Chain A
Amino acid sequence: MSNKKGKKKKESNEEKEEEFIRIDGRKPDEMRPYKIRAHILRNADGSAEIRLGGNWIIAAVYGPKEHFPKFEISQDKAILNCRYHMTPYSTTERKSPKPSRREIELSKVIKNALEQAVVLEEFPEMSIDVYMEVAQAEGSTRVASVTAAAVALADAGIPMRDLVVGCSAGKVNGHIILDVGEEEDKEGEADLPIAIMPNLRKVVLLQMDGKLTHEEFKEAFDLALKGAMELYEEQVRALTTILKDMEIIEEGVKDEKE
């Protein structure tokens, strides 16, 4: 028995020696530590924050509300406005607060991702505003932002077909890795951010830059899916936590009445 254990230990040690250790000490398929909290802003209809490694992103949802200006109104469904924005202090070199072309592009792809999930048909002639403010950026901010935004939408009680959860994979020094950090994004050979609707099994955000063979893409895609499913658990945990808090409040009200 003890012999067997010893052998097992030795094997795993050998595996570890061969395994690629990343710049921040992570294993190739290891996420950074993460935490999602829902319902964090008093004024917003829905809100959430995510911490993923050094990333810190706050998302807020306002609406559904009457859309203005009138001529833009959509007769058959609500308009979803999305803004992904990096604060000036989110990066080492100050970022101009003016939205860059990159931020405008990311706002657009995030909007497309969330549009697949939100039941916009429920609110014709209305609009829903989603704001994602990156307080601190450390790589993979777009997928962390969409993950927080989906929780904020759910927190706002807006009907959704599924949650949306994002994760990235990449290639660094020839190794396929999960959850690309800042240095890895700069030094690496490829970056693959994705977002999915986990229960409907649909990809709703998919971008890639760098170079990957088709085999490497498959490996990276599968890894990003695995990471997204892990973050999905955290989204659900964050949302059930606030539901429980609300039940406690309701019970408190009942007690007072009695």
Chain B
Amino acid sequence: MKKNNFKKKTLKEILMANNILKFIKENRRLDGRGFLDYRDLRIDTGVIKKAYGSARVELGDTIVIVGVQFELGTPFPDSPDKGILLTEGEVLPTASFSAEAGPPSEEEIEISRVVDRSIRESEMVDLSRLVIKPGESVLKMFIDFNIFNDDGNIIDAAVIGVVSALLTGEMPDPEYVREHLEELPPNNLTSVPRIPIPTQDFPIANTIALIDNKFIVDPTFAEEMVSEARITITHTVNNEICAIQLIQGGLGYEQVFEVLNISLDKSIEIRNRIRELLGLGGD
């Protein structure tokens, strides 16, 4: 059984927690934001030259780097006509005083799996376009994200990073691979011409925290520490829900629908903000 990661609370944290609660009671946030405001968002894409797609995202002081890579592989027996997609992430020891090197904690595994579900269940990547020979050979797509600095709301920032890397990234042209399979050096796709990654959706994850019975979006690290409940909801470009994870605490039945509505509004807002930042035309 994984050991519990109990942090000793420092005086600074206790004071911070008290301040956050005091401010929320007065309908304010410590950093001056409204309850339903996101922090400043900054996205740089193509930051890792060795990856097929990459992005560096800053959401306030939370920093995520995402890289996309490809390998040749065999498809799963139950889906011979689909490529393979794997999203995994880690919180690096650089991220905060509580982050540790070594095997991932249960919180990290949860984050990683929620980001994976957001991308997978939205069917953002058209996996049928990753097939080289059905049942035999497909492209395996690895999406890896790392948290370099954790100031809360890792999941939203990671999903923003992943979609930015996918929307601007490339992949080896499967048709070229199919035609030149014998000539290619084993497990080396670098010589293969590239095409844009075939995307067909634009998922956005929104995390909402409950503090003093009020809902706030985009919680900071300190806000997460004092929150009574926290939930992440991912919406597709067609405003369908494609992933939900109650990460912490509990919600009343009516509150579930309240957070769904907040997250839908916020998903539209953040999606438009990413489009602007990446210079993509709205549709």
Contacts and interface: CB of A to CB of B under 8 A. Distances in A.
A102 B113 CA distance: 8
Contact of B241 (A201, A202, A212): A212
Interface residues of B, number: 36
Contacts of A249: none
Nearest to A164: B250
Interface in A68-114: 72, 74, 79, 81, 83, 101-102, 104-105, 107-109, 112-113
Interface stretch (A21-29, A149-157, A214-222): A214-222
A116 interface: yes
B244 A225 contact: no
B136 interface: no
A58 interface: no
Contacts of B240: 211-213
Of the listed residues A108, A192, A209, A217, the one surrounded by the most CB atoms of chain B closer than 10 A to its CB is: A209
Looking at chain B's contact residues, the main secondary structure is: mixed
A203 B121 contact: no
Contact of A101 (B109, B243, B245, B253): B109
B205 to A, nearest CB: 12
A174 interface: no
Contacts, number: 95
Interface string B219-245: 000000000000100001001111111
Interface string B238-278: 01111111111111110011001000100000000000000
Contact of B250 (A116, A129, A217): A116
A210 B260 contact: no
A109 B246 CA distance: 8
Contact of B251 (A83, A203, A225): A203
Of the listed residues A107, A129, A217, the one surrounded by the most CB atoms of chain B closer than 10 A to its CB is: A217
Nearest to B231: A206
A209 B256 contact: no
Contacts of A146: none
A228 B79 CA distance: 33
Contact of B246 (A104, A203, A209, A218): A203
A116 B260 CA distance: 21
A135 B252 CA distance: 33
Interface stretch (B1-9, B50-58, B182-190): B1-9
A204 B113 contact: no
Interface in A215-251: 217-218, 221, 225
Contacts of A101: 109, 112-113
Contacts of B253: 201-203, 225
Contact of A72 (B6, B106, B122, B250): B6
Nearest to A131: B1
Contacts of B256: 203, 206, 221
Contact of A205 (B113, B243, B246): B246
Given A109-B110, A207-B245, A217 B260 contact: yes
A208 B4 CA distance: 26
B88 to A, nearest CB: 9
Nearest to A74: B6
Interface in B100-120: 106-107, 109-110, 112-113, 117, 120
B76 to A, nearest CB: 12
Nearest to B233: A208
B106 A107 contact: yes
Given A105-B106, A217-B260, A209 B252 contact: no
A30 to B, nearest CB: 23
A116 B248 CA distance: 10
A197 interface: yes
Contacts of A206: 231, 244-246, 251, 256
A176 B257 CA distance: 18
Of the listed residues B2, B239, B246, the one surrounded by the most CB atoms of chain A closer than 10 A to its CB is: B246
B251 A209 contact: no
Contacts of B251: 202-203, 206
Contacts of A208: 241-244
A213 B238 CA distance: 9
Nearest to A196: B253
18 contacts: A79-B4, A81-B1, A81-B4, A101-B109, A104-B109, A108-B109, A108-B110, A109-B245, A112-B249, A129-B1, A202-B253, A203-B250, A203-B253, A207-B244, A207-B246, A210-B242, A211-B236, A218-B257
| List of 7 A-B pairs having minimum Cβ-Cβ separation, nearest first | A208-B244, A206-B246, A204-B250, A202-B250, A108-B106, A116-B250, A211-B240
Given A105-B109, A108-B109, A112-B247, 18 more contacts: A79-B4, A102-B113, A104-B106, A104-B109, A107-B106, A108-B110, A201-B252, A203-B252, A204-B249, A205-B246, A206-B256, A208-B242, A208-B243, A211-B121, A211-B241, A211-B242, A212-B240, A213-B241
